Amino acid sequence: MKLHNYFRSSASFRVRIALELKGLAYEYLPVHLVKGEHKSGAYESVSPSKLVPTLVTEDGAHLGQSMAIIEYLDETHPEPPLLPRDAVGRAKVRALAQLIACEIHPLNNLRVLKYLVHELKLDDEKKNAWYRHWVRDGLEAFERELAQLPASTYCYGDTPTMADCLLVPQIFNGKRFNVDFSGLTRTMAAFDNCMKHPAFQKAQPSSCPDNEA
């Protein structure tokens, strides 16, 4: 398999975690978002949407969207599972993952932040305030959801799931913008436990070959 991705992209980070949790080998192909490499004609032939990540499967299929890729990996390499065996459990994990992928991330990805600065003329202070507000707001909702679940090591249960694959990159990015994580007890406990797991360490941005200081 080949993974077209960017070391700092949270969506790419999600897929790297899933690959590491599954113990799957892949070729790392960097696409530099800040330099605009995802907008090139060469990359458009890989991903018509010009987004990262793109996973190229063993049989040559090109898959986009991190959650779709993670579910593909879970269906084709079922051990260890990233979704619970029961339907209710799967729905709960998907809902936690979507709180991040659909409610937090779209408001704070790179193209939105660039639009705030270049088109709406927000200065860095206002842009960062926007980022911190929406991440904090979303994580408070995430914390309330976790509070309704039984005590667990990770977001849902005592083994990592797709929800953890999405949570960790969001916390990493939030730390870059000095988001306030106080009071997010269950959320940050899950994050801390994830970061004790070798798969999350191997997948993190500082471990990537295109990592930049």
Residues pairing with 62 in the sheet: 56
As a whole number of angstroms, the distance between CA 203 and CA 22 comes to 12
| H helix runs in 106-148, sequence order | 110-118, 124-147
Q: Is the peptide bond before 198 cis (omega within 30 degrees of 0)?
A: no
Question: What pLDDT, in 10s, does the model give residues 95-151?
Answer: 999 999 999 999 998 889 999 999 999 999 999 999 999 999 999 999 999 999 999
Q: Yes or no: say if 59 and 118 are a contact pair by the CB < 8 Å rule.
A: no
Rg of the chain over CA atoms, in angstroms? 17
| pLDDT tens per residue, range 31-46 | 999 898 999 989 999 9
Residue 139 in contact with residue 181, Cβ under 8 Å?
Answer: yes
Residues forming beta bridges with residue 27, ordered by sequence position: 2
Check whether 206 has a pLDDT greater than 70.
yes
Q: How many residues are given for the chain?
A: 213
Distance from C-alpha of 194 to C-alpha of 171, rounded to nearest angstrom: 11
Q: How far is CA 164 from each of CA 29, 119, 152, 171, rounded to the nearest angstrom?
A: 24, 34, 12, 11
Which helix or strand (DSSP H or E) is residue 83 part of? none
